Amino acid sequence: MIDLHCHILPGLDDGAQTEEDLLAMAHAAMEDGITTIVATPHHMNGSYENTKGMIEKATETANRLLKQKGLDLSILPGQECRLYGELIEDIDKGEILSLNHSTYVFVEFPSAQLPRFSRKLLYDLQLAGKVPVIVHPERNQVFMKKPDMLHDFVKNGALTQVTAASVAGKFGKKIASLSLDLVEANLTHFIASDAHNTTNRTFHMTDAYNVIEKEFGNDLVYLFKENAHLLIENQHVMIEPPERVKKKKFLGLF
């Protein structure tokens, strides 16, 4: 199993802080059935500025440590970019790291808003030959209230990644419900952990896939797992036509 979103590289952001943390997360990942992790340190989120070269070097160091410890886990380089105005310029400078050097780039919105330039920047990313993947939209307050806005982004070429812990109910019922709504409406294309540690922000990948299998059947589990493989191989992922999230009934009324 591949985990496309994980903060396992020590000392770069709010994830692992030490080599011991990295090893603990590696053990937890393997126990959850994960064989490959894409490390995605924050970039331009608060005080974190983790450029391409920094992440590549840290990934090499982490893989050497895993090999020394005899752990059968591979770490690939990636980055979680908060949307900012100079993103395209920094791509041209070679400072932005796509997921395993593919055309797919993780983009993160602020948790409480969507910047006014979001639509244009996602469009410009595609013009630059990149495929924007919006991370954890189910935890964005705007998308929670107005999922049609996410539908519009997906319809216009963006992909999304939902957090495994969200699907598994670890962030509450509302976020779990929206996560399943996004799955049902073909508004997400990847499930990943966004793990930061082994306590309150751990992997839950198996838990999430068990929920998806129960709710939607094994075909969707296969789609999400296969899409992760296709992404790291820089191939076209499987995409179903996006639909709008169905409005919920309340006391029998819409």
For the chain, how big is the Rg over CA atoms in Å?
A: 17
Q: What would the pLDDT profile of 118-173 be if each residue is shown by its tens digit?
A: 999 999 999 999 999 999 999 999 999 999 999 999 999 999 999 999 999 999 99
pLDDT value for 246: 87
CA separation for the pair 149, 155 (Å, rounded)? 10
* Identity of the residue numbered 248: K
What domains can be seen in the chain, in order of their start residue? 2-232 (3.20.20.140)
- Specify the 3-state DSSP secondary structure of 189: coil
The structure tokens 């306590």 sit at 199
Q: Is 47 exposed, middle or buried (0-12, 13-18, 19+ CB in 10 A)?
A: exposed
pLDDT value for 248: 65
pLDDT value for 253: 41
pLDDT value for 249: 47
pLDDT value for 254: 43
Closest CA to 82 of 90, 74, 70: 90
Cα distances (Å, whole numbers) of residue 24 to 18, 27, 80, 178: 10, 5, 22, 31
pLDDT value for 247: 76
CA separation for the pair 17, 34 (Å, rounded)? 21
Residue ranges in the chain modelled with pLDDT below 50: 249-254
Helix 52-68 to helix 19-31 angle (10° resolution) is 70
pLDDT value for 47: 86
> Do strands 74-77 and 80-82 pair parallel, antiparallel, or not at all (unpaired)?
unpaired
pLDDT value for 45: 87
